[in-house]
Chains A and B, each alone.
Chain A
Amino acid sequence: MPGLRSLNLTLNGDLVQVAAPEHWTLLEVLRYSLGLTGSKQGCDKGDCGACTVLMDGEPVLACLTLAAAAEGKQIVTIEGLAPLHKRAGGSGVDPVQDAFDRSGALQCGFCQPGMILSAKALLDKNPKPTRDEIKQALSGNLCRCTGYTQILEAVEVAAAEARGEVPPGPRWRRFEG
């Protein structure tokens, strides 16, 4: 049996010490050792993006990242977004979460934490992304339920609101005839 290793992680702004098998991935440590189940396990091998977390602001796949390799980095999971937002002086949930919430962007929600973190990483770097840039940034996140349009709209809403602009309205008609 492989041995346990004591890990020192900077997780959602807090220092966390946890013992876990040394070969465990960050996703295993988050879900199994720390009970942070917001990061999802969709494919176990880097294909779906459901396990996306931020490491020093960059989106990484927690299922492909050894937990030991996350030591010394700032890790942000979906559970950390709202608290970090509050700590930075904001109120309520993070604006990207809020935009996803209001846009009806998701159905089963399983892909959502990963989507939101990929979107957050994009918007932190590029406050005015084009549609193609959004598509590019979220291309590693699969969603099996939606047709992606409401996800794109949510990112656009979050971006526009962060710039103090009126977000583009939904591009669909409700009733006809």
Chain B
Amino acid sequence: MTSLGKPIAHESACDHVTGSALYTDDLAGRFPGLLHAHPVTAPHAHARVVALDPSAALAEPGVVRVLGPADVPGENQIGPARPDEPLFPSEVMFHGQAVAWVLAESEESARRGAAAVRVDYQPLPATLDLEAAIAAEQFLTDPLRLQRGDAAAGLERAPHRLTGELFVGGQEHFYLETQSAIAHLDEQGRVFVHSSTQHPSETQEIVARVLGLRKHDVTVQCLRMGGAFGGKEVQANAWAAVAALGARLTGRPTRVRLSRAHDTTLTGKRHPVLGRFEVGFDAQGTLLALRMQLFADGGWCLDLSEPIVYRALFHSDNAYRIRDVELVGRVVRTHKTSMTAFRGFGGPQGMIMIEEIVDRVARTLGIEPHQVRERNFYREGDCTPYGQVVRDPDRMPRIWGELTASCDYFERRRQIAEHNSRAPHAKRGLAITPVKFGISFTTAFFNQGGALVLVYADGSVQVNHGGTEMGQGLHTKMLQVAAHTLGVPMAAVRMMPTQTDKVPNTSATAASSGADLNGAALKVACETLRARLAEVAAPELGAAPDELVFDEGRVFARSRPERALTFSHVAHQAHFQRVPLLATGYYRTPGIQFDKVTGTGKPFHYFAYGAAATEVEVDGFTGMYSVRRVDILHDVGDSLSPLVDRGQIEGGFVQGLGWLTLEELVWNADGRLATENASTYKLPGLGECPPIFNVALLGRASEPDVVYGSKAVGEPPFMLAISAREALRDAVAAFGAGAAGVVELASPATPEAVFWAVERVRRSGSKA
């Protein structure tokens, strides 16, 4: 019996519950002589640094050193994709940007020192508003394009047309563990960095770049993260670089831990996006043509914005076939923190646009939105706007059918209509929405994974792979894969901390691909070892190597299961026979390519599918609402770890619910982020947890060419929360007189936004 596919708890659960699971900053006490770093932050959204005088800071007791641009031995540059991100800027590009760092014996001394650093600024005009930046043509990229058919002609031909726009707000990651790093010089005097990073290899690269070292002089370890969600994909690098610089220059271990307010004001968020669209359709709601522009607020520098906008474009079709399409995306530069990866990586912003469009089409025609959705699903042989054939298009109608039945969708629609006719001030809404999400990094070379597996002569095993653990359960799944493939109990396998000296040149743990890439690599390594061990065990068991079964620590011939050797015995024998007990595994996803010039290719290995039905109730006096029930059916292939997958689905949904209904970022007129902590930025709490929350995994969904038939699960469920937004709109519409027409709803649909939407519907109802 193997644990693969069984609902087991997180591999660190026991450490989590006893408080012994260590996160980066928990290691601080292990470093005697530790220095603490504090940033000197700019009080302007845009300004030139005219002079920086650290003398007063250095006079503060406990202050050891002030780090500025002149202290950088390598390059003062941490941009991952483009050199547009100085670690110590001479031009301030957003309010609160760090222009220098103070190192001191204690946190307090560092803070006092930072306040004492004298910086002279020459303020410059700042652009904070997205539309103003578009009008001023402040762009960080050229237009990015996807095109199929002839959108202009398609719109011309279409019997009905609709134009509109939607602005969707950004989202703060608010991983509970803020950004942190501790750097020290190791026993060989080389740089060792503990970093809360999703991408240790890139952190290593950036640290080496800033210090002017080669990569082999820098080791980066990530024990685990207290959440990341994309926010530590590239934006963990700066803090690691500051800590490493401090350690290198002072010879003392150096710690950076951002306070929550520093974390929210220094790091990027999900991109706010403005969509402008024109759609052509027929009287039944069939989508015929779409032309759409997406403007993403990228903040001050490029970061990952280009692939993020591509992913928004790739998901602007969601699950729907549209013959003539023209999609153009562009990254806009504003004087804000640099927007970055966040679960879904632009996909949610694209998907919400097409769901908005579908709803507007349905309400314009007076047809039920779920009918318009279903009518437009992809069919066998269809291609996406980027020319990729849609694999398994039948999954969507199957999920749709099973979910509408299991959640009693049609009967509940009827009951809700009845309820709404009796309740003038509290209307209910119910909506079902689909998700089709592409899996793979768009940049082909990121789609590789590596693993290193060591078997010791006593039969115990150490496993290393390139992925990082941020709570998503990757290490749990990897332990299951390793134990199953080697045929040993989970307890015989130890997962080692992710470290750059074990697997080199790894990709970020991102794009939901952690288990696909590292799991496949790990499986290869374990198979190599198992094959070698089979050669060793075969003569003793009197059977051919390929007849042997490795199962939970026992090795036996399939035909004679009663005569078994222990795995430990076989490992011991192998060592004596001089059989190598270490193996690497490597995997690259086949067939991934995308041509930016033509906007076509196969950017995804496969698609993950799902659907959610959400019911809400809205109070017409205040706009306050509650989510009454959520039903989800999601496709994770053959689940490697159902309890982990369930957690990803529920957690993704609730995080999406936060983005779409609660979480509103506010910047003051001077560019300061006003919502810098959870007291002003409303996150989903237990009170928002839907009282009825049914989650099911789709059956008969094995995915060929992915490790053990599984599917990626990290990001896709996030977008299931669009059903909550559409349910709110459904309830808002019920306050009107029932006339056909678009129902506008701002995003996030906060109670305030819902209140104004209800008011609009009521007013237009009284006019009609």
Partner of B697, one of A39, A150, A175: A175
A97 touches B9 (CB 8 A): no
Partner of A102, one of B9, B15, B20, B261: B9
B18 touches A109 (CB 8 A): no
CA distance A109 to B16 in the complex (A): 5
Whether A70 is near chain B, meaning CB under 8 Å from some CB there, is no
CA distance A104 to B643 in the complex (A): 7
A43 and B227 in contact, given A93-B17, A147-B653 (Cβ under 8 angstroms): no
Contact code string A155-177 (vs B, CB < 8 Å = 1, else 0): 00000000000000001111111
Whether A54 is near chain B, meaning CB under 8 Å from some CB there, is no
In the complex, the 3 A-B pairs of residues with the closest C-beta atoms, listed nearest first: A38-B19, A108-B471, A147-B650
A interface majority secondary structure: loop
Whether A48 is near chain B, meaning CB under 8 Å from some CB there, is yes
Interface centre among B21, B174, B683 (most CB of A within 10 A): B21
In the complex, 20 of the A-B residue pairs with CB atoms within 8 angstroms, ordered by the A residue number, are: A31-B29, A40-B177, A45-B677, A47-B679, A48-B678, A78-B17, A93-B17, A100-B16, A100-B17, A107-B227, A108-B175, A108-B224, A109-B10, A141-B686, A143-B176, A145-B647, A147-B653, A149-B689, A152-B686, A172-B694
B643 touches A110 (CB 8 A): no
Number of A-B contacts (CB under 8 A): 209
What residues of B have a CB within 8 angstroms of the CB of A45 in the complex?
A: 260, 677, 679
CA distance A77 to B20 in the complex (A): 12
A82 to B, closest residue via Cβ: B18
What residues of B have a CB within 8 angstroms of the CB of A106 in the complex?
A: 10, 13, 16-17, 471
Partner of A146, one of B12, B22, B651, B700: B651
A100 to B, closest residue via Cβ: B17
Whether B444 is near chain A, meaning CB under 8 Å from some CB there, is no
A131 touches B29 (CB 8 A): no
CA distance A1 to B699 in the complex (A): 65
A149 touches B650 (CB 8 A): yes
A177 touches B398 (CB 8 A): yes
Chain B residues numbered 214-233 whose CB sits less than 8 Å from any CB in chain A: 224-227, 229
Whether B51 is near chain A, meaning CB under 8 Å from some CB there, is no
Interface size on A, residues (CB 8 A): 65
B700 touches A42 (CB 8 A): no
CA distance A108 to B697 in the complex (A): 22
CB distance from A167 to the nearest CB of B (A): 15
Whether B25 is near chain A, meaning CB under 8 Å from some CB there, is yes
B694 touches A171 (CB 8 A): yes
What residues of B have a CB within 8 angstroms of the CB of A50 in the complex?
A: 176
A145 touches B651 (CB 8 A): yes
A104 and B18 in contact, given A50-B176, A143-B176, A172-B696 (Cβ under 8 angstroms): no
Whether B143 is near chain A, meaning CB under 8 Å from some CB there, is no
Whether B456 is near chain A, meaning CB under 8 Å from some CB there, is no
B225 to A, closest residue via Cβ: A108
B176 touches A101 (CB 8 A): no
B17 touches A101 (CB 8 A): yes
A79 touches B227 (CB 8 A): no
What residues of B have a CB within 8 angstroms of the CB of A97 in the complex?
A: 17-18
Given contacts A45-B679, A150-B646, A176-B698, 11 further A-B contacts (CB under 8 A): A35-B29, A40-B177, A43-B260, A81-B18, A101-B9, A109-B13, A116-B17, A145-B471, A148-B684, A148-B685, A148-B689
Contact code string B630-648 (vs A, CB < 8 Å = 1, else 0): 0001000001001110110
Whether A61 is near chain B, meaning CB under 8 Å from some CB there, is no
Interface size on B, residues (CB 8 A): 76
CA distance A113 to B19 in the complex (A): 6
What residues of B have a CB within 8 angstroms of the CB of A77 in the complex?
A: 19
A144 and B227 in contact, given A139-B686, A149-B650 (Cβ under 8 angstroms): yes
Partner of B677, one of A47, A108, A135, A146: A47
CA distance A44 to B258 in the complex (A): 10
Partner of A104, one of B647, B653, B685: B647
CA distance A88 to B25 in the complex (A): 33
Whether A55 is near chain B, meaning CB under 8 Å from some CB there, is no
B20 to A, closest residue via Cβ: A38
Whether A151 is near chain B, meaning CB under 8 Å from some CB there, is yes
What residues of A have a CB within 8 angstroms of the CB of B700 in the complex?
A: 177
Whether A9 is near chain B, meaning CB under 8 Å from some CB there, is no
Chain A residues numbered 18-53 whose CB sits less than 8 Å from any CB in chain B: 21, 31-32, 35-48, 50
CA distance A110 to B276 in the complex (A): 40
What residues of B have a CB within 8 angstroms of the CB of A103 in the complex?
A: 9
Partner of A148, one of B175, B229, B654: B654
A79 touches B647 (CB 8 A): no
Contact code string B6-43 (vs A, CB < 8 Å = 1, else 0): 01111011111111111101101100000000000000
What residues of A have a CB within 8 angstroms of the CB of B647 in the complex?
A: 104, 107, 145-147, 150
A104 touches B651 (CB 8 A): no
Whether A121 is near chain B, meaning CB under 8 Å from some CB there, is no
Contact code string B460-494 (vs A, CB < 8 Å = 1, else 0): 00000000001111000000000000000000000
B263 to A, closest residue via Cβ: A43
A148 to B, closest residue via Cβ: B689
Partner of B174, one of A44, A144, A150, A175: A144
Whether B591 is near chain A, meaning CB under 8 Å from some CB there, is no
CA distance A108 to B650 in the complex (A): 14
CA distance A176 to B23 in the complex (A): 38
CA distance A141 to B691 in the complex (A): 18
A151 touches B686 (CB 8 A): yes
CB distance from A94 to the nearest CB of B (A): 9
Whether B655 is near chain A, meaning CB under 8 Å from some CB there, is yes
What residues of B have a CB within 8 angstroms of the CB of A123 in the complex?
A: none
CA distance A101 to B649 in the complex (A): 19
Whether B687 is near chain A, meaning CB under 8 Å from some CB there, is yes
What residues of A have a CB within 8 angstroms of the CB of B17 in the complex?
A: 78, 93, 97-98, 100-101, 106, 112, 116
B470 to A, closest residue via Cβ: A108
CA distance A148 to B654 in the complex (A): 9
